Amino acid sequence: MTSAIHVVGEVLATKRAGAYRHLTIAAPGIPERFRAGNFVAVSVGDDLLARRPLWIHRVKETGAYGPTLDVVVQPRGPGSTRLAELPVGARLPVTGPLGRPFALPREPVSCVLVGEGYAAAPLFPLAARLRERGCPVTLVLAADDEAHLLSALEARRSARSVSVVTRDGSVGARGDVTSQVDAVLERADADVVYAAGPTATLAAVAAAAERRGAWSQVALETPMACGTGLCQGCPVPVVAEDGVTRRVRACVDGPVIRGDRVHWGELG
């Protein structure tokens, strides 16, 4: 496990992109330790005690600040709304990098990545790592509509093939990504499948991977109170080798977990 640190970071830049807010954060020590699939836990105020976990979307060099990290926030409840309204220069307590990252294949095998909404964020750095290893990468970006789609243009830098699916058809193919996964895996002749998005999408992708005999990894968004493994507030039912279901902690034993291990029926 990568060793996490807790720092008071600083918001260096903000950008609106469709329904989302992208934040660039200086959090010295965290970008240096980052691996794709890690997240950070941020605090949004002393009156809101639970941390807000956020996927690390990108790590980049920003001149004087050294490496920084980018996150994508979808404002909805009180915490994410506050985050989306943070001005440049705001201070933000950040803990990270947290969680088990995506495991990478040793051989240059065919990989399909399926991401829905803001949750596709960790697949961008994953695609870059896979490409470095010579893996052909097929990325499927899905969303309700164009406003909730992460940039396909940017994705094309790391993935050999990028396709877009929206529920309302505002851009790309119209429909539900879950009904198209089997065809995508078939076309790409996928050996490994990665998924990030709502639970229903993850379950469908894991099932499609299993039908093909492909190996799958899913990035779960189980509600978390601490994100650091302290509270046992994020149970995920997993089926172990011995067939027994156990509850592991999404934040430290995940959030990336083998799709065939998750007991989807029991996941709240």
Partner 1 sequence: MSPAVPWGRVMVASGCGGTGRELAPYADLEGLDFVTRSITLDPRAGGPSPRVAETPSGLVHAVGHQNPGLEHFLATELPWLVRAGARVHVSIVGGAIGEYAELARRLSRAPGVAGLEVNLGATDQAGEGLFEVREPYHAASVVAAVRREFPADRPVLAKLRPDLSRAVEGARAVHDAGASAVVLGDAVPAALPDGRPAGLSGPAITPVALRCVHEVVARLPEVAVVGGGGVDGPATARAFLAAGAVAVQVGAALLHDPTTVARIRADLEAQDPHDHSGRTDR
Ligand X SMILES: Cc1cc2nc3c(=O)[nH]c(=O)nc-3n(C[C@H](O)[C@H](O)[C@H](O)COP(=O)(O)OP(=O)(O)OC[C@H]3O[C@@H](n4cnc5c(N)ncnc54)[C@H](O)[C@@H]3O)c2cc1C
Ligand Y SMILES: Cc1cc2nc3c(=O)[nH]c(=O)nc-3n(C[C@H](O)[C@H](O)[C@H](O)COP(=O)(O)O)c2cc1C
Max Cα distance, the chain (Å): 52
The verdict on 265 binding partner 1 (CB under 8 A) reads: no
Note whether 231 binds ligand Y by CB under 6 A: yes
Helices within the chain (DSSP H only):
30-33, 78-84, 123-132, 152-155, 181-188, 199-212, 250-253
Taking CB under 6 A as the rule, does residue 8 contact ligand Y? Answer: no
38 binds partner 1 (CB under 8 A): no
- What token pair was written down for 43? 């605090």
**CB-count burial class (<10 Å; 0-12, 13-18, 19+) for 134:** exposed
Count of residues that interact with ligand X, criterion CB under 6 A: 23
When asked if residue 28 is in the footprint of partner 1 (CB under 8 A), the reply is: no
The answer to whether 200 contacts partner 1 (rule: CB under 8 A) is: no
Helix, strand, coil shares of the chain, percent, nearest 5, are 25, 35, 40
Q: What, of ligand Y, ligand X, partner 1, none, does residue 167 touch, CB below 5 to 8 Å by kind?
A: none
240 belongs to the binding site for ligand Y (CB under 6 A): no
The CA-CA-CA angle for residues 191, 197, 201, to 5°, reads: 70
Q: Which is nearer to ligand Y, 150 or 252 (CB)?
A: 252
CA angle 154, 125, 15 (to 5 degrees): 50
In angstroms, give the least distance from the CB of 30 to partner 1: 12
Q: What is the DSSP string of 152-167?
A: HHHHTTT-SEEEEEES
Q: Does 232 bind ligand FES (CB under 6 A)?
A: yes
Where do contacts with ligand X occur on this chain (CB under 6 A)? 39, 50, 52-55, 71-74, 76-81, 118, 121, 221-224, 255
Where do contacts with ligand FES occur on this chain (CB under 6 A)? 224-227, 229-234, 249-251
Where do contacts with ligand Y occur on this chain (CB under 6 A)? 231, 233
